[in-house]
Structure 1
Amino acid sequence: MPRSLAVFFCILLSASPVFAGVYTWIDDQGVAHFSDHPPAKAPHREVDIQPVATVPMSENLKQGRRVSEIRNDVQNVLSNSDRPVKTSAKARARERAKHEKTCDRYRQQLETIQSQLRGGYSNDRGNSLRQRRRVVSQKMSRECILG
């Protein structure tokens, strides 16, 4: 028993610096100092240390469930909109031809812009050409490569 009591007092004494205050003051050169001992001659103030904020586990679980429900709802909406609509072979062929024509038009526009850039340009003209190339390239990527 005396042994456990001695261990208890050692732990209690070693934990006392944890409860010590933190002090701050500014010296003559304008440097801010922080310490666990107040300065002898300088005016100081004690820093109020806020306890660590913890979020209860129940709130984390509720939020996790809400996120999962929202994710499932989004997945359902996306999967419902991706279902192919039955179309005739002629309609599919028309759509494919229209798609190819659009992609060919984008390729032609990019080639034209590239040749204009290779041919020389002023700064303003080059900036507008590069901007057009960027826009056409993005459209082509979205509609032809990804789409």
Structure 2
Amino acid sequence: MFPLTAHAGVYKWVDAQGRTHFGDRPPSEVKSKQVQIDAAPAQPDATARARQENIESFLDQKQQERSEQQALRAEAEQRAAKQAEQCQKLRARLKYMESLSGFYNVNDQGERVFVDDAENARIRERFRAKVQQTCSR
């Protein structure tokens, strides 16, 4: 059950001095009539509307920045994982190279031509430097 005031209407009457009055209860001493009031939908003023648009714009911008940062972090994590995998392979290859007694080249006849000890040392050192440069980042 709603209270009586929830169903109360708006009443209009004119007093003895000719002034028009409105109220939620009809007066007992004068004749009144109930009037229908159609309230216009509430519209925020221009300042409130602009403030709301600014807030929404700010929130959209912050959400976009968060999304971009998240994408950058994911990309950086992907690069780091790829580099870690590459370093693991390079270190395994370096370990294998250090276990070899020597290196060789294949000549035009398809024969192996072993390199001298100095060249073996240079090959190993260049590969160590490559591993160090790649994996120290």
Q: Which interval holds the TM-score relative to the shorter structure?
A: 0.3 to 0.5
Q: TM-score, normalised to structure 2's length? A: 0.35
Rg: which structure is higher? Answer: 2
More strand per residue = 2
Q: TM-score, normalised to structure 1's length? A: 0.33
